[in-house]
């Protein structure tokens, strides 16, 4: 019987791939993301993405030794490189309080801006200036849940490659299209070129989000950052604005919650439910 890829001797802290992982862990390697944990790797296995590098510590599998070993074998079978690591090294690499010995480096997919085709039922969410990785991951998850075509990022601060994005998106960062535009004007022109009705989510807007019909053309909502709201450049583009009425003392909602309300209202109108 041929030796398993998981049976190799453990590598040390000075191994080049360990140094690579530490760079990815710090979100200092754009385009690659750290995936850690059992359910995280279950999600990875359901995607069409194969890990570049897989690290495995069998001593950290806990009570589910057989299940973890089976999962590790399936990940190893599709990874380009596989390395075994010790518990001591795992403690240095992990982001979890109770690690289970499964860590991968995964390359994030790239979607070209000219590769989309939109119809009247299409939805797009634009997030301007998102600051927190957790919110970015939740926005990705919300875009998927509402069957929106993609998430567009402008004035981006948080990056898709932050490990927290994977967890917050439930792994959907690997399958949900995300576009980034360096300039707000470029993103606005892209939306116009595809015939979108563009609506800015603005707490100061007088029109409720329930007023538009959301029919006859694709719809894009633009939501702002957690602290500063929408950049002034978006307001200069001449698009309409809608608000979510605040009925209590709060003057606004979390950006991900606001996006969910807007997207699902439009999806319900477009699909007739």
Tens digit of pLDDT for each residue in 15-44? Answer: 999 999 999 999 999 999 999 999 999 999
Domain boundary among 107, 123, 154: 107
Same domain assignment for residues 74 and 92: yes
Q: Phi/psi of residue 255, each to 5°?
A: -60, -40
pLDDT at position 83 over 70:
yes
- Across the strands, what pairs with 154? 128, 181
Indicate if 219 and 117 belong to the same structural domain. Answer: yes
CA separation for the pair 242, 254 (Å, rounded):
16
Final residue in a domain of this structure, among 75, 107, 139? 107
Q: End of a domain among 54, 81, 107?
A: 107
Q: Which domain, by its residues, includes 254?
A: 113-271
CA atoms within 13 A of residue 232's CA, in its CB half-sphere: 0
Number of structural domains found in the chain = 2
- pLDDT of residue 78 exceeding 70, the answer is yes
pLDDT at residue 109 greater than cutoff 70: yes
CATH number at residue 256: 3.40.1280.10
* Other CB atoms within 10 A of residue 169 CB: 27
pLDDT of residue 66: 78
Statement to judge: residues 220 and 169 lie in one domain: yes
């Amino acid at each position: 019987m041929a030796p398993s890829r998981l049976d190799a001797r453990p590598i040390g802290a000075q191994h080049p791939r360990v140094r690579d992982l530490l760079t990815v862990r710090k979100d200092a390697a754009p385009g690659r993301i750290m995936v850690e944990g059992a359910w995280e790797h279950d999600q990875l296995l359901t995607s069409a993405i194969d890990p570049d590098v897989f690290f495995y510590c069998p001593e950290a599998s806990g009570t589910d030794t057989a299940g973890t070993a089976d999962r590790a074998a399936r990940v190893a079978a599709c990874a380009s490189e596989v390395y075994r690591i010790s518990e001591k090294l795992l403690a240095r690499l992990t982001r979890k309080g109770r690690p289970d010995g499964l860590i991968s480096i995964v390359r994030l997919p790239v979607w070209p801006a000219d590769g989309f085709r939109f119809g009247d039922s299409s939805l797009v969410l634009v997030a301007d200036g998102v600051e927190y990785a957790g919110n970015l991951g939740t926005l990705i998850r919300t875009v998927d849940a509402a069957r929106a075509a993609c998430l567009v990022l402008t004035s981006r601060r948080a990056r898709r490659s932050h490990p927290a994005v994977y967890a917050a998106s439930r792994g959907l960062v690997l399958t949900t299209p995300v576009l980034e535009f360096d300039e707000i004007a470029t993103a606005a022109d892209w939306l116009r070129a595809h015939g979108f009705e563009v609506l800015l989510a603005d707490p100061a807007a007088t029109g409720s989000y329930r007023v538009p019909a959301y029919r006859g053309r694709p719809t894009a909502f633009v939501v702002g950052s957690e602290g500063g709201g929408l950049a002034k450049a978006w307001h200069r583009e001449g698009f309409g604005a809608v608000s979510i009425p605040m009925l209590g003392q709060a003057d606004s909602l979390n950006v991900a919650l606001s996006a969910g309300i807007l997207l699902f209202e439009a999806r319900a109108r477009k699909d007739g439910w």
